[in-house]
Amino acid sequence: MNDDNNQSANRAHWSSTFGFIMAAAGSAVGLGNLWKFPYLVGQNGGSAFIVIYAILLVFIGVPLVIAEITIGRFGQLNPVGSYGLISPRLKWVGAMGLVTGFILLSFYPVVGGWILYYLYHSFVAFGENPDYAKIFTEYTSDPYWPCITLLIFSLMNYIIVALGVEKGIEKYSKIMMPALLVILIVVAIRTITLKNGLEGMRFIFQPDFTKVTGKTILDAVGQVFFSLSLGMGALMTYGSYLSKKDNLFKSSISIPFIDTIVALLATVAIMPAVFAFGFKPTAGPALIFITLPAVFDQMPMGSFISIIFFTLMLFAALTSSISMLEGLVSYITDKRHLNRFWATTLVSVVIFLLGIPCALSFGKLSNITIFSGKSIFDSMDFLASNILLPFGGIMLAICVGWIWDGGLRYETIIVRNQKGNPDVVTNGYVFNTCLKEITNHGTLNFPFMSAWIFIIKWVAPIVVFTIFIDNL
């Protein structure tokens, strides 16, 4: 259990590249894919949203994923330590990531608890002709139940992280992620083959650009960061357990790939069912907890589908929240203040306490608002997803593009002969520490390198900054 309490050289590592990919994709695949993405598609004009999301994903998300993992593998430390190795003045960027982790962990596990409640009720029905809107409101506004389910979810999260990188996170991700994919495909096949299911498919794939507004683009950027776990150091921490021999580029790009497939599959699994039974696709956040249970009730084999669906949600939420927790734990263990067991215990107690106000913000504490009328829960979500993650992304791009080892730059080197005439002229990117890290000192190919550099230096900071300012 104390294996990653040692010096960075012999700190814990993934046992295989597959293990890393499952854990990192597990971090990315979460409520963002299964819950937020389908309702954003429903509200923002179907594939019109998908197209905008895809553009931002490819041109901003993917390059930043590579950048974040690169810093982690270079530093072989937690986010504060790794940023600190680039420049001691950048430690605050890593520290901001840790703060973001605490904020995310104050509300994300609350939803994990809701999922447990619905999973339980997939086995034990809510009663005759249930009114799901009422059930959801009553449950979330109860003074005890949301805290109890939060506690159970937090315990699961705690146990996996306390077991360590290889024996906990990697082992459980390798089971939960493939299971999640299989379950999702089963649910998708079931719903597409429903009567009227194809109408739902048409809704998803027929773009309605009249629904696209400035807010759609904001939502899409926020979703790219949230869904890819970008900007708080979760991927950086996972990258720090990668071995120096791994192919960083290849392992990194499989994460957004899996993340997007799951988001699309989830949409395909949910929308046709909503249509087939005459519900509205624009239900928003309530889609999963109010609309879907009603859909499952009417569907042949519905209770079975409900059980496997909420199991899928549980796996997805767990593999994401363990990655949030691991960033915080790695900071304490790297500092050698505490061993893994005590570090995980301490952080878990703190985040459980932070989670209680969020869990109660639909009931007892619903009259407390922070940002312009937003409840505690919504404020934490807003602060993390719309402010801190994109800001972390801007800083990440600036660090890699402009600061780390002189930044990414193109140089023309002229060697002159004795007469002062140019003898050798070489043009090219300076092979700095960052590019050496990605290519394992030039032994691996880095496809699209020039495009990547251009995006990291210019496109990502400018685009995200513009949207960010607009957001505020």
Contact set with ligand PHE (CB under 6 A):
27-28, 30-33, 104, 226-227, 229, 232, 234, 320, 323-324
Nearest approach in angstroms of CB 282 to ligand PHE is 21
Q: Are 27 and 191 in contact (CB under 8 A)?
A: no
- The backbone region for 255, taken as left when phi is positive above 0, alpha when psi lies in -120 to 50, beta otherwise, is alpha
Instruction: Name 413's bridge partners.
Output: 426
Nearest approach in angstroms of CB 153 to ligand PHE is 14
Nearest approach in angstroms of CB 32 to ligand PHE is 2
Nearest approach in angstroms of CB 96 to ligand PHE is 13
Overall residue count recorded for the chain in this entry:
472
Q: Are 434 and 73 in contact (CB under 8 A)?
A: no
What does the buried/exposed string (b/e) look like for 262-298 if buried means 16 or more CB atoms within 10 Å of the residue's CB?
bbbbbbbbbbbbbbbbebebebeeebbbbbbbbbbbe
For strand 422-429 and strand 410-416, is the pairing parallel, antiparallel, or unpaired? antiparallel
Residue 146 phi, psi dihedral angles, 5° rounding = -60, -30
* Smaller CB separation from ligand PHE, 74 or 225: 225
* Smaller CB separation from ligand PHE, 275 or 331: 331
- Host H or E run for residue 99: helix 91-123
Nearest approach in angstroms of CB 23 to ligand PHE is 12
Q: Are 340 and 4 in contact (CB under 8 A)?
A: yes
Q: Are 232 and 388 in contact (CB under 8 A)?
A: yes
Nearest approach in angstroms of CB 108 to ligand PHE is 7
Nearest approach in angstroms of CB 442 to ligand PHE is 32
* Smaller CB separation from ligand PHE, 104 or 453: 104
* Smaller CB separation from ligand PHE, 197 or 256: 256
* Smaller CB separation from ligand PHE, 106 or 229: 229
Q: What angle do CA 166, 154, 334 make, to 5 degrees?
A: 45
Q: Is 454 helix (H, G, I), strand (E, B) or coil?
A: helix
* Smaller CB separation from ligand PHE, 108 or 452: 108
* Smaller CB separation from ligand PHE, 52 or 435: 52
